[in-house]
């Protein structure tokens, strides 16, 4: 497969993965552009591997982690504006997914990466370990801790929402 064929076939999936890792569509597009530019220069070696897609995903995750470490990429956070749910409507599902996404974004980078690769990319522990260059036990530990944190934050968020609606 040539680089052009690979890029044409996989760019949209890589952008979706990058968006889940970064939480920002524009940063995700920049991330994928940087990764594909570096992959183009190494495509001869990458295409000879058994799984070039896993190699490029790993490049994407590593580049995301490098961006995260740079001080220039840090953003100043503001308090989240929580919308109050009214009557049940079609927007409730969107609001629930958004709330879950906010909880996922609050996870540490490695835990968020494991959750994204496992539940969005539907990869097994071995594939995730290969991409993250760690053991499968480490992947399972990150997944367990992430799920526990998500459950705890979900309960806390639900409790806070109930208290705020009781006040009114």
Q: What is the pLDDT of residue 17?
A: 92
Coil, strand or helix at 125: helix
The CATH code of the domain at 90-168 is 1.10.10.10
Output the pTM of the full model.
Answer: 0.59
Determine how many CB atoms are found less than 10 A away from the CB of residue 3: 17
Q: What is the pLDDT of residue 25?
A: 87
Give the separation between CA 85 and CA 69, rounded to whole angstroms: 36
Give the separation between CA 62 and CA 152, rounded to whole angstroms: 28
pLDDT in tens, the chain (168 residues): 899 999 999 999 999 999 988 888 888 999 999 999 999 999 999 999 888 999 999 999 999 888 766 655 555 555 565 656 555 567 777 888 888 888 888 899 999 999 999 988 889 999 999 999 999 999 999 999 999 998 888 787 777 666 766 655
**Chain length of the chain:** 168
Q: What's the sign of the alpha-carbon dihedral 142, 123, 20, 94?
A: negative
In the chain, where are the structural domains located? Answer: 1-73, 90-168
The CATH code of the domain at 1-73 is 1.10.1740
Q: What is the pLDDT of residue 68?
A: 61
Give the separation between CA 149 and CA 112, rounded to whole angstroms: 11
């Amino acid at each position: 497969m040539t680089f052009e064929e690979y890029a044409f076939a996989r760019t949209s999936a890589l952008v979706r993965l990058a968006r889940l890792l970064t939480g920002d569509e524009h940063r995700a597009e920049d991330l994928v552009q940087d990764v594909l530019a570096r992959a183009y220069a190494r495509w001869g070696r990458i295409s000879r591997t058994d799984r070039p897609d896993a190699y490029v995903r790993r490049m994407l995750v590593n580049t995301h982690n490098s961006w995260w470490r740079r001080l220039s990429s840090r953003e100043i956070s503001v308090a989240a504006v929580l919308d109050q749910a009214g009557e049940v409507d079609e927007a409730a599902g969107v609001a629930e997914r958004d709330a879950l996404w906010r909880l996922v974004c609050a996870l540490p980078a490695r835990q968020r990466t494991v959750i994204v690769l496992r539940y969005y990319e539907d990869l097994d522990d071995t594939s995730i370990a290969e991409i993250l260059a760690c053991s499968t036990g480490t992947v399972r530990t990150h997944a367990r801790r992430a799920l526990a944190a998500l459950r705890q934050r979900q309960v806390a968020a639900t409790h806070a929402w109930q208290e705020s609606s009781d006040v009114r």
